[in-house]
Amino acid sequence: QVQLVESGGGVVQPGRSLRLSCAASGFTFSNYGMHWVRQAPGKGLEWVSAIQSDGSKKYYADSVKGRFSISRDYSKNTLYLEMNSLRAEDTAVYYCARDDCTSPSCFPYWGQGTLVTVSS
């Protein structure tokens, strides 16, 4: 069965960095685009970033562009989100999601989420 397991969240000071991981199993990782979506406490969903199945194209929300970097390791079946220059407003639960649609995106599979808290 499809499994997505995020890790790497925690408490970090403003301006510092953190790397999130999303371990994928139960499917052919290289066949699917992958996304990161976050949710601040008590708030709605916010799309963060996406990477195509072959890694050739990457996309970012304006709110994280230039600070966050998405990547994937096919040998480890793992998706990453490198987060730099973190701000208080980046505090959220971060979900990874598999993209099953080509027109253009839908997410039938999500991880359980990992909480990132940016605070001094």
- Cβ 10 to another protein, closest distance in Å? 19
Cβ closer to another protein: 14 or 89?
Answer: 89
In the chain, count H helices and then E strands.
Answer: 0, 11
Helix/strand/coil (H/E/C) assignment for every residue in 106-117? CCCEECCCEEEE
Dihedral sign for Cα 36, 40, 41, 45, please: negative
Q: Which residue is associated with the tokens 């605070």?
A: 119
- Cβ 12 to another protein, closest distance in Å? 22
Site of interaction with another protein (CB under 8 A)? 35, 37, 44-47, 50, 59-62, 95, 100-101, 103-108, 110-113
Cβ closer to another protein: 16 or 57?
Answer: 57
Cβ closer to another protein: 16 or 105?
Answer: 105
Q: What is the distance between the alpha carbons of residues 62 and 77, in angstroms, rounded to a whole number? A: 27
- Cβ 16 to another protein, closest distance in Å? 25
